[in-house]
Amino acid sequence: MVQLPEARDLAPRLATGAFILNSGLTKLRADQATAEAVHGMACVAYPFLDRIPAERFTRLLACSELAVGGALLAPFVPTRLAGLALTGFSGGLFGLYLRVPGMRQEGSLRPTQDGIPMAKDTWMLGIGLGFLGAAGRRRRAAAARYRHSVHCRRRHRGRCRY
């Protein structure tokens, strides 16, 4: 049985998923100059990416964004799994923000004027972590309700006031 996302998860899943999906679709149509700019910034933060050609990197990044955005928008993907994908993706973006020179004020996490576009993406990391934590809280709450109902059946023979 497919469990649909809870109502409280719909708004952040839709907003974040649409944002990331749009970004991926835009990168799929990137020209050579855009691909080189995206790749160049990524290589500053993650030097091992130098081995991948700019066009290929940008296409892989676009496909990753399409996958993460699609997972968030697809109602049959569990929120915890979508949150895991979002946390991994946004963690990479946060690493980019932390590693690229000139994005942050010296000795601080506060962004410079150039860093604001990247710093604002940290909201995705918060949403992803929230999705991961929410699933555990829901399970614990369901277990507590079950324990309470068992206790009531035993102690009050099914006549529980709660």
Work out the average pLDDT over 147-152.
63
Q: CA separation (Å) from 56 to 67, 70, 93, 128, 156?
A: 16, 21, 18, 27, 66
Domain presence at residue 4: no
In a domain, 162, yes or no: no
Whole-angstrom distance, CA of residue 96 vs CA of residue 104: 11
What share of the chain in percent tops pLDDT 90?
71
Q: Which of 52-61, 63-72, 73-82, 148-157 has the lowest mean pLDDT?
A: 148-157
1 located within any domain: no
Indicate if the alpha-carbon torsion angle 23, 20, 104, 92 is positive or negative.
negative
Locate 99 and state its tokens: 């590693």
For the chain, how many structural domains are there in total? Answer: 1
Spell out a b/e string for 132-144, using b for 16 or more CB atoms within 10 Å of the CB, else e.
bebbeeeeeeeee
Indicate whether 85 belongs to any domain.
yes
Task: Note whether residue 116 is domain-resident.
Answer: yes
Q: Can you tell me the distance from the alpha carbon of 113 to that of 154, in angstroms, rounded to the nearest whole number?
A: 63
Higher pLDDT, 29 or 141: 29
Residue 54: which pLDDT band, with cuts at 50, 70 and 90?
A: very high
Token pair of 33 as six digits: 């100059």
Range of the domain at 123: 9-156
Counting every residue, how long is the chain?
Answer: 162
| pLDDT surpasses 70 at 130 | yes
- Asked, for residue 161, whether it belongs to a domain, the answer is no
Tokens of 53: 């050609």
Tell me: the pLDDT tens digits for 68-87? Answer: 999 999 999 999 999 999 99
73 in a structural domain: yes
The conformational region for residue 46 under phi > 0 = left, psi -120 to 50 = alpha, else beta, is: beta
In this model, does residue 137 exceed pLDDT 80? Answer: no
Q: What residues are paired with 104 via a beta bridge? A: 111
